[in-house]
């Protein structure tokens, strides 16, 4: 069932102008990332728990790649998504917008790794709700932010200066001029 859903997302992404592939496991996705990074000297890092979980950072460093955190000029930018709709719309929410900015313009190529747990069957509103429910509270806790969701685990649509959901990007299609590939993985990765 989850493989069927992942493959549906891959087809939807292709219709929206992305190169998209299915990965059965986290290991398979990691090997795909390493293969994509092969010709790149500099690799940007989009601060992703998904990418940490699949263990590509150490392998990239071991292969001599220069990892750049949150810089715009690079050969390849790696990131995940906070949510994706089953019909292929990617939603990412940032505190300062640097990850979103780099996924739109700057790098030569962008590569997403998205686990099946990020897929929502509804529309963009459901995707945003997923981010506020599943991603922001644990991220606020991990980063030591003083927000209601860090304390209670539930979004209160706060007005805190520490709020990490300040910039919401909805990708209806691949951004013009940005070669972008998406690996959809039939595994739960990140949050």
> Which residues contact ligand SF4 by CB under 6 A?
132, 136, 140, 147-149, 155-158, 160, 163-165
Taking the least distance from each CB to ligand SF4, the nearer of 144 and 177 is 144
Q: Which is nearer to ligand SF4, 21 or 124 (CB)?
A: 124
Do 124 and 91 meet the contact criterion of CB atoms below 8 Å apart? Answer: yes
Instruction: Give one DSSP letter per residue of 36-92, joined into a string.
Output: HHTT-SEEEE---HHHHHHTHHHHHHHTTPEEEES-S--SEEEE--SEEETTS-EEE
CA distances from 47 to 51, 70, 89, 142 (A): 8, 8, 20, 12
Cβ proximity to ligand SF4: between 117 and 160 the closer is 160
Q: Considering beta carbons, is residue 91 or 155 the nearer one to ligand SF4? A: 155
Type and span of the H or E element at 110:
strand 109-115
CB of 149 to ligand SF4, least distance (A): 3
**CB contact set of 172 (below 8 Å; sequence gap of 6+):** 16, 89
Least separation in angstroms between residue 113's CB and ligand SF4 is: 23
Give me the least distance between CB of 102 and ligand SF4, in Å please.
Answer: 21
């Amino acid at each position: 069932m989850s493989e069927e859903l992942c493959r549906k997302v891959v087809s939807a992404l292709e219709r929206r102008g992305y190169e998209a592939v299915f990965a059965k496991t986290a290991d398979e996705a990691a090997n795909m990332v390493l293969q994509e990074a092969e010709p790149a000297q500099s690799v940007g890092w989009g601060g992703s728990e998904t990418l940490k979980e699949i263990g590509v950072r150490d392998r990239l460093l071991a292969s001599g790649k220069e990892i750049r955190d949150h810089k715009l000029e690079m050969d390849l930018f790696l990131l995940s998504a906070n949510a994706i709709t089953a019909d292929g719309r990617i939603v990412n929410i940032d505190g300062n917008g640097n990850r979103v900015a780099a996924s739109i313009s700057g790098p030569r190529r962008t590569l997403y790794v998205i686990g099946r747990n990020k897929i929502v069957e509804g529309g963009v509103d459901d995707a945003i709700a997923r981010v506020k429910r599943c991603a922001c509270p644990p991220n606020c806790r991990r980063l030591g932010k003083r927000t209601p969701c860090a304390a209670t685990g539930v979004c209160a649509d706060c007005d805190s200066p520490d709020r990490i959901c300040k910039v919401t990007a909805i990708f209806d299609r691949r951004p013009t001029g940005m070669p972008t590939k998406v690996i959809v993985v039939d595994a739960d990765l990140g949050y």
